[in-house]
Structure 1
Amino acid sequence: MGLKALWDVDLWNDRLVAYLPDLSAQEQEKVKEKIKNAPAGKFTVYTLENHQDTLLDLGFQHEADLPGFFEGKTAKIFSLFLKEERNKSASATKNKDVLNIVKNDKAVPSQSWKGILFSHLEESDLDQLTSLYKRVFDVYPTNIFDQNYIKASMNNNYTFVTAKDQGKVIGAASAMKTGYQSAEITDCAVDPDYRGRNILHGLILELETRLVKERIFNAFSITRAVSVGMNMTVKRLDYTYKGTLVNNCKISSGYEDMNIWVKKLKN
């Protein structure tokens, strides 16, 4: 039995995302139908390498790789821009500058975590968590400002962890399990008053430990391409850059390019 196919219609970010490891003849016809109907500005397909020619022939372009995504196998990420303006990066030059800064970084981060407790999110902390997210983000690709959304996510395929200082939630992150024995490190935020102490570093390590216990050994992060801090954090944690997704989702002022970083947690 092959790997399952998944489709995600993301109205907020005006995109259609399909996870099609086997890309059967039936799925190919569905892809063609979606292209014809143009239901979104961007259409992204995750598939295995042996299907890449099929997507290239349909006009898709290769944006990134995700080693380990499909139960240890590499996902090739292809996108078709159904709205021409969606294929024009507004930050291409800055993206390159950020990557150069990050790749040339040789610093070893200090761990200024004295008094900070990293732990699993408790429902009693949902109010503090959503307040933190509202303070850090003006706009976000998912509804992390809603306690009910986070509670539902916790009961589904997300693991949330928090960083606390004397009971106050000052940082948070989550791992979204893909269903393919891999997970995305996401929803990362740190109270501005605590920046510079590598709190996010500790949060991601806590998530990685929990993922390994669940026998999920492939992790990845999709980071804002213009953010030195977030890209630097995952690079220092031994994640490897694997490509950039152009105008992928809404964060802050509009659509932003996102970098793919990957890490094998255990051989």
Structure 2
Amino acid sequence: MNKTASTICLQESSYFLEVYLDPFNNRIRVDDYRGNTRLLLEKAEELVLQHHAEKLIIKGRSEDFLFFIEKGFQSEAVVDRYFLGSDAHFFSKFYTPDRKRNDHWITEDGMIHSIYQLDTTVEKTFPPKEYQIKKADESCAEELSALYSHVFQIYPTPLHDAEYVKKTIQEGTIYYVFFYQGKIVSAASAEINVFYKNAELTDCATLTEHRKYGLMKIILQELERELKRNGIFCAYSIARSLSFGMNAVLFQLGYSYRGRLMNNCYIYDKLENMNMWVKNLAIC
């Protein structure tokens, strides 16, 4: 099967579905829907069978909570104010025993507990003057893809491909990067949902030898300022649940833990659980 992800929209007389087909991660995600929930769910599950997906994720509205629970879904995470101010539940259903199995849950719960004991005072960090932050443009695509290839052996989206990175920039994804001696050493992006006025802060990567200066915190704060300038106040980020550092960064920047997506995507070197963190930029 083709491993290239794609978004399709299905319009019938009684429902609309926007579906992200993600064969690389063996999952299907419903990003938006309206209309007859019973019929649109039947269609989504048809797609699961057709594409041999192991996991179905639906970004559901609060008013449909009990419907999805009755249909065998679980609410794995919540994003406050995702839908123009209304909360989104990330409902999931698993279709193979292995996809539902988890050996790290207790460890990951303990990590969240530890992170919530951390000092939330964010000191203003100033990296050495050799480090320069800037907003990336299309000319940075090659270097960005090289950075992601170096940091991540496996990544859930094709950021190893410079053309893909360039395409995301053209479509409105914002990247901020740190340069050191003319080379990109740290980067992150904000993937914006223009219609619902939210953004996912993602694609966070720093070369190992440059991680002691708090570059990622500075980049994320710069992305937040950019989002606020664009009238976007719902920010969320999904971090590897076994990465203490990235989860701690988000907590110390004022993000709140909102759940865990089990066996969600292939990243780093395996299929991983991902923690959801959410922040209301309007009150910070």
TM, length-normalised to structure 2: 0.87
What is the CA–CA distance in structure 2 between the aligned matches of 1:85 and 1:19, rounded to whole Å? 24
Q: What is the letter of the counterpart of residue 177 of structure 2?
A: T
Q: Secondary structure at the match of 1:94?
A: helix
Q: Report how far residue 32 of structure 1 moved.
A: 4.6
Contact 1:48–1:74, Cα closer than 8 Å, also in 2? yes
What is the CA–CA distance in structure 2 between the aligned matches of 1:236 and 1:228, rounded to whole Å? 12
User: 1:85 is matched with which residue?
Assistant: 98
Q: Secondary structure at the match of 1:154?
A: helix
Contact 1:109–1:198, Cα closer than 8 Å, also in 2? no
Contact 1:241–1:260, Cα closer than 8 Å, also in 2? yes
Contact 2:48–2:54, Cα closer than 8 Å, also in 1? no
Q: 1:218 to 1:5 in 2, by over 3 A?
A: farther
Equivalent of residue 7 in structure 1, options 2, 12, 19: 19
Q: Is 1:239 aligned to residue 255 of structure 2? A: yes
Q: What is the letter of the counterpart of residue 254 of structure 1?
A: K
What is the CA–CA distance in structure 1 between the aligned matches of 2:83 and 2:143, rounded to whole Å? 35
Q: Is 1:226 aligned to residue 242 of structure 2? A: yes
Q: Report how far residue 5 of structure 1 moved.
A: 4.4
Q: Report how far residue 189 of structure 1 moved.
A: 0.5
What is the CA–CA distance in structure 1 between the aligned matches of 2:115 and 2:35, rounded to whole Å? 36
User: 1:184 is matched with which residue?
Assistant: 200
Q: 1:23 to 1:51 in 2, by over 3 A?
A: farther
Q: Secondary structure at the match of 1:106?
A: coil
Q: Report how far residue 106 of structure 1 moved.
A: 1.4
User: 2:147 is matched with which residue?
Assistant: 132
Equivalent of residue 217 in structure 1, options 225, 233, 246: 233
Contact 1:238–1:263, Cα closer than 8 Å, also in 2? yes
Equivalent of residue 101 in structure 1, options 103, 107, 114: 114
Contact 2:120–2:254, Cα closer than 8 Å, also in 1? no
Q: Report how far residue 38 of structure 1 moved.
A: 6.8
Q: Is 1:161 aligned to residue 176 of structure 2? A: yes
Partner deviation per Cα, 1:63-112 (whole Å, 9 max, x = no partner): 11110111111001110001121111232122112212211111645413
Equivalent of residue 72 in structure 2, options 59, 74, 82: 59
Indicate the percent of aligned positions where both proteins have the same amino acid: 30
Contact 1:44–1:80, Cα closer than 8 Å, also in 2? yes
Partner deviation per Cα, 1:7-32 (whole Å, 9 max, x = no partner): 10101100000024545344234235
Equivalent of residue 144 in structure 1, options 156, 159, 177: 159
Q: Is 1:44 aligned to residue 57 of structure 2? A: yes
Q: Secondary structure at the match of 2:213?
A: coil
What is the CA–CA distance in structure 1 between the aligned matches of 2:42 and 2:211, rounded to whole Å? 49
Contact 1:23–1:47, Cα closer than 8 Å, also in 2? no
Q: What is the letter of the counterpart of residue 113 of structure 1?
A: P
Q: Secondary structure at the match of 1:196?
A: helix
Q: Secondary structure at the match of 1:12?
A: helix
Matched residues, number: 264
Q: What is the letter of the counterpart of residue 43 of structure 2?
A: K
Structure 2 unaligned spans of 5+: 1-15
Q: Is 1:262 aligned to residue 278 of structure 2? A: yes
Q: What is the letter of the counterpart of residue 224 of structure 1?
A: R
Q: Bigger shift: 157-166 or 183-192? A: 157-166
Q: Is 1:30 aligned to residue 30 of structure 2? A: no
What is the CA–CA distance in structure 2 between the aligned matches of 1:250 and 1:106, rounded to whole Å? 31
Contact 2:122–2:253, Cα closer than 8 Å, also in 1? no
Q: Secondary structure at the match of 2:148?
A: helix
Structure 1 unaligned spans of 5+: none
Q: Secondary structure at the match of 2:221?
A: helix
User: 1:199 is matched with which residue?
Assistant: 215
What is the CA–CA distance in structure 2 between the aligned matches of 1:146 and 1:31, rounded to whole Å? 29
Q: What is the letter of the counterpart of residue 15 of structure 1?
A: R
